[in-house]
Amino acid sequence: MIRINLLPHRELKRQARRRMFGILCAVFILIGAAVVGLGGVFINGEISDQNDSNAFIKKANAKLDDDIKEIAKLRDEIEGLKARQKAVEDLQGDRNLPVHVLDELVKNTPEGIYLRSLRQQGARVTLNGLAANNAKVADYVRNLGNNSPWLANPELVEIRAVTVGAGAAAKRLNDFTMAVSIRRPKEPDAAAPVAPGAPGAPAAAGGPAAPPAAAPGAPKA
């Protein structure tokens, strides 16, 4: 007996393929969603780690900025202390400076010079006085420029003839004004140490002294 299938098998196969396609599409969509979700989680984790690193770096930079400001403040305080120390040292060194200046002025003032006033402004001293003649003033300038370790660069500012006294006691003198600089003499360099055994070197403590050299022709001991 022959059986004939009158059902629309082509339509059934087509519907089956459509269902399979739909299932496969759903599966791929789920897989894609899972991959996207996992990728998003991974990326969010990386972003979070990077944000934490950025926050740590910002915090470290802020601490470094505070340390730099503190170091700059300490440097300013150190410079201030150095400046005050130098000022104190200069004051201590200048305590006896007027004495030295006056002493040098007295020692280098030639006969025939009479100082009437002196005025100091910084490291410059202005002198005013009377001289018997121009040669005395020239000697005074030469003495202050060559013979004084505390005074230097004398400069004759003005000189003019004046009459001092009246009547028979009147004298013709030269009124002069001079400027001179104050300087501190350089400290002598420390003597270089003499090598042991060199000529002129002191004998070592407790050590035997070197025997004197024998004279030429002297018999040997």
> What are the angstrom distances between the C-alpha of 178 and each of 74, 111, 162?
47, 17, 16
Domain ranges in the chain are: 16-93, 112-182
CB atoms within 10 A of CB 192: 6
Residues whose CB is less than 8 angstroms from the CB of residue 153 and which lie 6 or more positions away in sequence, other chains included: 145, 180, 181
pTM equals 0.45
Closest by CA to 86, choosing from 75, 98, 94, 96, is 94
**Separation of alpha carbons 27 and 99, rounded Å:** 108
| Each residue's pLDDT expressed in tens, for the chain with a length of 221 residues | 666 655 676 777 888 888 898 899 999 999 999 999 898 889 988 998 999 999 999 999 999 999 999 999 999 999 999 998 888 877 776 677 788 888 888 888 888 888 889 888 888 899 999 998 888 889 989 988 888 888 888 999 988 888 887 777 788 888 999 999 988 766 444 334 444 544 444 444 444 444 444 444 444 43
**Adjacent-strand bridge partners of 152:** 181
